[in-house]
Amino acid sequence: MNFNKFPNLILIGFFLVLIGVILPLLMVVQIIKSTFFLNFFSYGASVLGLFLGIIGAAYYVRMNRGKDLRVEDREALENKRQD
């Protein structure tokens, strides 16, 4: 599994949540017609974007864990992981 692609999940999640906000706004101001499909699509985009953003953030933290620690703290963390 390539861990370099997981920060892209945050961006994809952001755009999906943005679509989930913009579409209902356009429906409320009656620029686009509110349909059953469009309502569920905007809800699904919002929920999927939220989940993808959380998963991407979790993997980003996992990738960068321990990089900002001092050498002594990093060694202690690695020893603790091995136990």
C-beta separation of 47 from 55 below 8 A: no
Q: Check: pTM over 0.85? Answer yes or no.
A: no
pLDDT in tens, 35-44: 999 999 999 9
- 1: pLDDT strictly greater than 60: no
83's tokens: 């136990």
10 Å Cβ neighbour count for 15? 13
- Count of other CB atoms within 10 angstroms of residue 53: 19
pLDDT of residue 63: 78
**Per-residue pLDDT band at 60 (split at 50, 70, 90):** confident
Whether residue 55 contacts residue 7, with contact meaning beta carbons closer than 8 Å, is answered with no
> Cβ distance 55 to 14 under 8 Å?
no
Nearest to 10 by CA among 60, 47, 45: 60
For residue 66, give the nearest of 56, 58, 76 by alpha carbon.
76
pLDDT band per the 50, 70, 90 thresholds, residue 52? very high
Task: Read off the pLDDT band of 19 (50, 70, 90).
Answer: very high
